[in-house]
Structure 1
């Protein structure tokens, strides 16, 4: 692609956040360009990866020209800027670039993706959804009697996002001596005040960044914190701080806790499906077509999808009922090329409507044609 004077459009590739999928889902409309590339982890994109990325961009140029897209030069300018920025940045195992007239976004993924360039009416977000389900962003609260540190997971490590301590008010704290009246009560109240302050910090952060939470600290202190905290939704685990001698130990403890939490969540999702089938079978839809039709009538509680299930086809006006291009729901993608995936669309709609997603192992939903939707009561 020849050099151009390019407008500013988005930033360098970033780690994925949950709300990013919803942001992409609401900006649908042809043409949406998705460029997906498996990459080699490196401080800067390798020459081989850049060459393959340029090949995918040429595929996009060809598709836009073939379909007679008007004003495609502006789209290609935005795509070129994302590609150039990605080429100068560190890479992980996967790269996803999304561009349309309203959006220019790039994401590094900790998992590989299938190389492809897609021009459709919506973005190819399945790799993002899969990445979030394998290892979503999470928060780690490291708690000690005299300080608390809040971290957010980012690119396999942790980034500080908050700090609190009992002595942070600027005024000295006076506590009675050990033998004086009221000393024990004063110390108890001081600790309770500190923990409430930590909980406010945690609540403020999680209000804007809902995600799994891992607590690290002395077990008795964590127990005391949990007894008063109002912000323990999606608690993934507690870790004894004696097992975290280094910063790397802390980051790995967070990852290990979240992995165990996600395994439990998948089991819980399958249990929810079985319970709904038993107690309220009319609130369960199976197969891609039934799920789409049910979503047009009711609000979703949870969508369960086998990880590698796709269903190429198109969607009827109003996005209420699908038309499967192969005439079946086998999920065989061979020869589908850039034909639309109804499963991607369905997952995006469930997210936008406030439902939960659960990716399960292939075969777990064999009795449901690989996909099942549990509706709200």
Structure 2
């Protein structure tokens, strides 16, 4: 992670972006400290949450001491900076703190998590992945005949990030009267110029912030914009502006559209899996062990995982699954699981969730992720990997 993207120690927990997961995934190396806490929404962290957070910090210190980690005092200082900042700022429903020798970052999450302290060779990013799949950051483009407003929806709020209007130069726009020759052509030219400008603004923003898009405006104007736009990838929905009388209506319309879009994406992912099974079964891996082994040989297209599937186990160097993978485990996030453990591999390390690390590797290799409902992948031991052709 570059110094430009890494917040300074003491910064408040920030909203989550998709690229943050990739940043954390590439900064592996023992020890990576993950402190994950379920919190109550408040203007400042509650006393009970502070107490539970301090208990997790004590647990981290114990793990580092038991494993004789060098420079652990420096790591604990970095962790303390993040904890102090989190305590002094507002909370949502979840908090994740990540610290190693190169990283010190904190994130607020809009959903509850299972509180735990993890010290491994990689960060426990599963809560971040789940948060992005439940409600990813998205952009809302509000389009009117005389102006366009671009909003970023993230961290439970909506904020303006762009504005475009044909009257920006302060000079009047002159067009022929309705009954004069050339009126229709003048209107079409002005509309095209305006919509092309809006599309440039949208494209410039989404180049740095790729995310689902929601369009809001008069249906006829949205139709025209869609014929001009070259930036409609991941279009989550279109909303008639007559249904958005207030700013709150606008924010809720965006959330509703994205929720419907995500349901469709999950259905599409399951259909992709069914189609691959029927047409090219050798490109489908099932179960956590087979997924890991296959990923070492082939490029991933899509990883499908049941939302609450956790599989503790052991990884050898290079992230290959060792013999004591617990298959089909449904244990708690603290690492409890049912099943028998196999032999230990020299140089291997126990991890709290093999699924967590597998997700990170799929992201780094350019594959897509889909979290589906528990039971959707019963025939695949709760996890399936579709490989590129």
TM-score range relative to shorter protein: over 0.9
1:361 aligns with: 373
1:240 aligns with: 240
Shift of 1:327: 4.7
1:279 and 1:179, CA in 2 relative to 1: closer, same or farther beyond 3 A? same
1:280 and 1:101, CA in 2 relative to 1: closer, same or farther beyond 3 A? same
1:347 and 1:10, CA in 2 relative to 1: closer, same or farther beyond 3 A? farther
1:218 and 1:336, CA in 2 relative to 1: closer, same or farther beyond 3 A? same
1:210-289 aligned at under 5 Å gives the runs 210-289=210-289
2:327 aligns with: 328
Structure 2 residue 357 is matched with structure 1 residue 348: no
Shift of 1:204: 0.8
Shift of 1:8: 4.4
Shift of 1:376: 0.6
1:300-319 aligned at under 5 Å gives the runs 300-319=300-319
Superimposed CA distance per residue, residues 82-132 of structure 1 (whole angstroms, 9 cap, x where no aligned partner):
111111111110000000011111110000011111111111111101111
State the SS of the aligned residue for 1:75. Answer: helix
2:156 aligns with: 156
State the SS of the aligned residue for 1:161. Answer: strand
State the SS of the aligned residue for 1:328. Answer: coil
State the SS of the aligned residue for 1:50. Answer: helix
Distance 1:316 1:175 in 2: 71
**Number of residues of Structure 1 aligned to a counterpart in Structure 2:** 370
Distance 1:323 1:360 in 2: 26
Structure 2 residue 39 is matched with structure 1 residue 39: yes
> Are 2:327 and 2:381, in contact at CA under 8 Å, matched by a contact in 1?
no
1:268 and 1:354, CA in 2 relative to 1: closer, same or farther beyond 3 A? same
Superimposed CA distance per residue, residues 301-355 of structure 1 (whole angstroms, 9 cap, x where no aligned partner):
0000001111111222222x30253553334348736843110010000001110
2:30 aligns with: 30
Q: Could you list the runs of 5+ residues in structure 1 that have no partner in the other structure?
A: 1-6
> Are 1:35 and 1:116, in contact at CA under 8 Å, matched by a contact in 2?
yes
Deviates more, 1:324-333 or 1:167-176: 324-333
> Are 1:311 and 1:330, in contact at CA under 8 Å, matched by a contact in 2?
yes
> Are 1:311 and 1:324, in contact at CA under 8 Å, matched by a contact in 2?
no
Structure 2 residue 209 is matched with structure 1 residue 197: no
TM-score if structure 1 supplies the norm length? 0.95
1:11 aligns with: 11
2:185 aligns with: 185
> Are 2:359 and 2:369, in contact at CA under 8 Å, matched by a contact in 1?
yes
> Are 1:10 and 1:104, in contact at CA under 8 Å, matched by a contact in 2?
no
Deviates more, 1:152-161 or 1:17-26: 152-161
State the SS of the aligned residue for 1:277. Answer: helix
Distance 2:309 2:112 in 1: 17
> Are 2:334 and 2:352, in contact at CA under 8 Å, matched by a contact in 1?
no
1:350 and 1:10, CA in 2 relative to 1: closer, same or farther beyond 3 A? farther
2:343 aligns with: none
Taking only aligned residues, the RMSD between alpha carbons, in angstroms, comes to: 1.6
